[in-house]
Structure 1
Amino acid sequence: MGNFKEDIAHVEAFVFDVDGVMTDGGIIPTADGDFIRRYNAKDGYALAYAVKRGYKICVITGGRGKLLERRLQMLGINRYYTDCMDKITTMRNYFAEEGIDPAHVIYMGDDIPDLECMREVGIPVCPADAASEVLETVRYVSEFCGGGGAVRDIIEQVLRARGDWARDSMGVTPSTLAPSC
């Protein structure tokens, strides 16, 4: 483990939790058993842009619901595990399947269920409003809260360090993510 700015230039993959990381942690249950979550558009843009640039992104969350899965699909994230109560085994299996070295992975979580995964990777990070146990474990604390730009913050830093941020002016638009009819 070296200098943070140097280490992020070697990132192979990102792993994210959802509630409290991609959202502010608030959920509204619906009558059909799903949940409404509020997402940050800039976080979503950064996720979709990283996918477009070829970065491996995995989501492992205890959260569930069709709306959550649809959001991840809209961003182009195809490796996600919802309603997951054994995050460490899931993450290890993902690394083995993809041939990823955990030393070159960023894991962003915000609470106690994320701690085991955070201890397994080279670059654990969290939003500003993470649980105190998480704040004590990570190498980087974003200045942004969960659901308020923390995801964009870390993705942008990595892509800038690798020379991939704003590399082209095309960006990502919904039309590039939606299936053509």
Structure 2
Amino acid sequence: MEKSYKEYLKHITTFIFDVDGVLTDGRVTIDSHGELLRTMNVKDGYAMKTALLQGYNLCIISGGTNEGVRNRLAALGITDIFLGAHHKIHQFKEYVEKYTIQPENVLYMGDDIPDIPVMKKVGLPTCPQDAVAEVREVSNYISFKNGGDGAVRDVIEQVLKVQGKWMRDFDAKKA
């Protein structure tokens, strides 16, 4: 009998996310200078920053090369950002070796074919609701949210809640 994805949540120490289709809705707007513009959800950003502050590892592996994406993610405190990654398994292996992370403690969220090799190596492969069929087939959890619409927040919040770290340092009396 296959384990429920919820059984993996308590062992997650590391989050790895794709960008296009996960942190964004997968659409790009092209401005008059040919620059590709993306939109990210601030609730995903809040969850990523919270995970970092709670001591989780967080890494981005994307095929995209937009430096604006790097700047946005770096502003949240993310230091491990791999852009231009066409064979994501290489960056994944480099990252887990660098920090001595066990793959079974990794939650990876992807949405398209290039994500599958990494998804097959991690403890908890996940995807947004609108991921392609092939990715949905290898995912242990499919978010009820689409990419760019809170799917990242969904998985981070679930892990932190199970581990007793969601809103741990929030004091409603000070708000």
When normalised by structure 2's length, the TM-score is: 0.93
| 2:43 corresponding residue in structure 1 | 42
| 1:128 corresponding residue in structure 2 | 129
Change (3 A) 1:86 1:170: farther
Gaps of 5+ in 1: 172-181
Tell whether 2:97 aligns with 1:96: yes
| 2:144 corresponding residue in structure 1 | 143
The 2-side partners of 1:170 and 1:25 are apart by: 36
Contact 1:103/1:123 (8 A) holds in 2: yes
Q: How does 1:57-96 map to 2 (within 5 A)?
A: 57-96=58-97
The 2-side partners of 1:91 and 1:127 are apart by: 20
Could you say what secondary structure the match of 2:40 adopts? coil
Could you say what secondary structure the match of 2:16 adopts? strand
**How far did residue 23 of structure 1 move?**
0.4
Runs of 4+ in structure 1 off by over 6 angstroms are: none
The 2-side partners of 1:34 and 1:45 are apart by: 26
Gaps of 5+ in 2: none
When normalised by structure 1's length, the TM-score is: 0.90
- State the Cα deviation string for residues 111-138 of structure 1 (Å, max 9, x = none): 0010111001110000000000011110
Aligned residues: 171
What is the letter of the counterpart of residue 162 of structure 1?
Q
- State the Cα deviation string for residues 61-120 of structure 1 (Å, max 9, x = none): 001112101111111110010011120011011100110000111010000010111001
Contact 1:34/1:67 (8 A) holds in 2: no
| 2:13 corresponding residue in structure 1 | 12
